[in-house]
Structure 1
Amino acid sequence: MTFEGVLTKMETEFSQPIQYYLVFENDFINVNQLIDKKITIEFVKYQCLNCGLDLPVFRQGFCKSCFFEIPQAADWIMRPELSTAHLEREDRDLEYEKKVQLQPHIVYLANSSNVKVGVTRKSQIPTRWIDQGAHEAIEIVEVPNRYLAGITEVALKDHVGDKTNWRTMLKNDIVDENLVEWRERLKQYIPDEAKEYYIASNTETNIDFPVAKYPVKPKSLNIIKDQMYTGILTGIKGQYLIFDDDTVFNVRSNEGLVVHVSVKVN
């Protein structure tokens, strides 16, 4: 079997275990079905997710020019506390910013390598947790816009982490935590503007990933440098493909690359 297309983050379905899908323009792959099969990935070219040109990807799947121009890559994407649509203030495109920023957002705790705080649109729960490789997560507040979520995250970052150690996450070197207790401990640090949105009576969500064998010493595949890689797929966690030789491939960090994928069928 052979497939070719531009990489975008794998789509997911919340089930036991999580189901993963690679979606190309003309192909649709259930990646779970490829576990225990030999896969070859070959770099073909670039394709900016915005303009579609064969230009080196700068960040987030966009070429450098698009990254600094389009609203989908503005600073408030990574730093939600910079959101201004609720003030009718435009950053790059007020219509787009209103559409994204002025909708319900969740501030959450997720445990992938350690307990961390994060922000996402309500519509992206539990997808955001799956993408981060979190085996457990819980909502803290549900607010009506991105700005309130952002200032809440900033306040909580002084008392809990906001980064994931990808190697620890992939090795499954993790500790289960009582996220309800974490949520209750952090309640006191929620900014006054967001206190009324605190979620007091929910339970944590547990996530099961399709992994037959975790890597001992994960090493990241640079498909642009190596051009081609072949290995046996042993699992999927977060947005990573895990192979039998401890190589891991982060699909999301390679968005905007056109690849040729071939699967050896037994």
Structure 2
Amino acid sequence: MIYSGVLTKMRTELSDTVQYYLVWKDDFIHMNQLIGKKISINFLKYECLNCGLQKKIFRQGLCYDCFSSIPQAGEWVISPEKSKAHLDEEDRDLEYEKRSQLQPHIVYLANSSDVKVGVTRKTQVPTRWIDQGAHEAIEIVEVPNRYLAGITEVALKNHVADKTNWRKMLTNDVLDLDLHAERDKLKQFIPDEARDYYLASNKETEIKFPVEKYPEKVKTLNLSKSPFYEGLLRGIKGQYLIFDDGTAFNVRGHEGHVVEIKVVL
């Protein structure tokens, strides 16, 4: 069976084991069903997720021109503390920024490789944690806008990491930790503006990923350098496909790449 289309990050469902779906324009693949099968990935061309043109992808599935201009790629997306919609100040498109920034946001702790702090819209829980490959996560505060979440993250990352060690995550070199205790340690560092939003009683979320075998060492597949790959799929974690030879393919990192995926056997 052969599928083709432009890559976007896999859609997910949290159940006993995370379910993954690769969605095309007119079709989709339930990726869990391909685990244990040999598949091939063939890179055909680029296609910007915004303008649809065949232009080299710069970041986030976008060509340089779109990344530099559309509101979905504003600086506040990566740096929430730079959000200004609550001040009625425009970055690129105030109407869009108000819709995105002026809604409930969560500051959380997630354990993917080590404990890290992060920010996401409330509507993206638990999707954000799954995408990061976290096997456990817990909310710290729920605030009414992105700015408050951003300044809280900035304050807390002086005391806990804000990045995931993706190699440790993919080799499953991780420990189970008491995130309730880790959260309580950080309470004293929450900024005054966000302290009333502290969540003291919510429970830790545990996430199980569909992986038959974790690699001892990981090597990444970059389709721009190696446009064809074939291997036995052994699992999925975060937004990575994990193959039997230790190759890991970051689907999200290849958004905007048009590919052909073939189930070999």
Instruction: State whether TM-score is above 0.5.
Output: yes
Matched, 1:54 2:54: yes
Q: Which residue of 1 aligns with 2:94?
A: 94
**One-letter identity of the residue aligned with 2:199:** I
Letter matched to residue 90 of structure 1 = E
Q: Could you list the runs of 4 or more consecutive aligned residues of structure 1 that deviate by over 3 angstroms after TM superposition?
A: none
Partner AA of 2:256 in structure 1: G
Specify the SS of the correspondent of 1:245: coil
Distance in 1, Cα, partners of 2:16 & 2:55:
39
Q: Which residue of 2 aligns with 1:125?
A: 125
Quote the residue 2:179 is aligned against. Answer: 179
Shift of 1:26: 1.6
- Once the two structures are TM-superposed, the CA of residue 264 in structure 1 deviates from its matched residue by 2.2
What corresponds to 2:223 in structure 1?
223
Give deviations 1:77-128, integer Å, cap 9, x for gaps.
0000000000000000001000000000000000000000000000000000
> What are the equivalent positions in structure 2 for 1:1-266 lying under 5 Å apart?
1-265=1-265
Deviations 1:239-262 (A, max 9, x none): 000000000000000000000000
Instruction: Determine the C-alpha separation between the residues in 2 that align with 1:122 and 1:130.
Output: 14
Give 1:256's aligned amino acid.
Answer: G
Task: Return the alpha-carbon distance in structure 2 between the equivalents of residues 212 and 16 of structure 1.
Answer: 15
CA apart distance, 1:202: 1.1
Amino acid in structure 1 at the alignment position of 2:227? Q
Shift of 1:6: 0.4
Aligned AA (2:70): I
1:230 is displaced (CA, Å) by 0.1
Equivalent-residue separation in structure 1 for 2:224 and 2:44 (angstroms) = 9
Please give the per-residue CA displacement for 1:217-245, whole angstroms capped at 9, x wherever unaligned.
11000112111000000000000000000
Aligned mates of 1:115, 1:213 — CA distance in 2: 23
Query: How many pairs are equivalent?
Result: 265
Letter in 2 for 1:190: I
User: How far apart, CA to CA, are the structure 2 residues paired with 1:159 and 1:235?
Assistant: 33
Q: Distance in 1 between matches of 2:70 and 2:243?
A: 35
Task: Measure, in 2, the Cα distance between the counterparts of 1:89 and 1:222.
Answer: 39
Secondary structure of residue in 2 paired with 1:128: helix
TM-score normalized by structure 2?
A: 0.99
State the distance in 2 between where 1:18 and 1:88 align.
Answer: 39
Matched to 1:53, the amino acid is L
TM-score of the pair, normalised by structure 1: 0.99
RMSD across aligned positions (CA): 0.5
The letter of the residue matching 1:88 is D
Give 1:24 shift.
0.5
Cα shift readout 1:32-75 (whole Å, capped 9, x = no counterpart): 00001010000000000100000000001000000000001110
SS in structure 2 opposite 1:45?
A: strand
State the one-letter code of the partner of 1:51.
Answer: C
Q: Which runs of 5 or more structure 1 residues have no equivalent in the other structure?
A: none
Q: Give the Cα–Cα distance (whole angstroms) in 2 for the partners of residues 201 and 17 of structure 1.
A: 25
Cα deviation digits, residues 160-195 of structure 1 (max 9, x gap): 000000000000000111000011000000000000
| Distance in 2 between residues matched to 1:251 and 1:195, nearest whole Å | 37
Q: Secondary structure at the match of 2:224?
A: helix
In structure 2, how many angstroms separate the alpha carbons of the residues matched to 1:170 and 1:227?
A: 22
Identity between Structure 1 and Structure 2 (%): 69
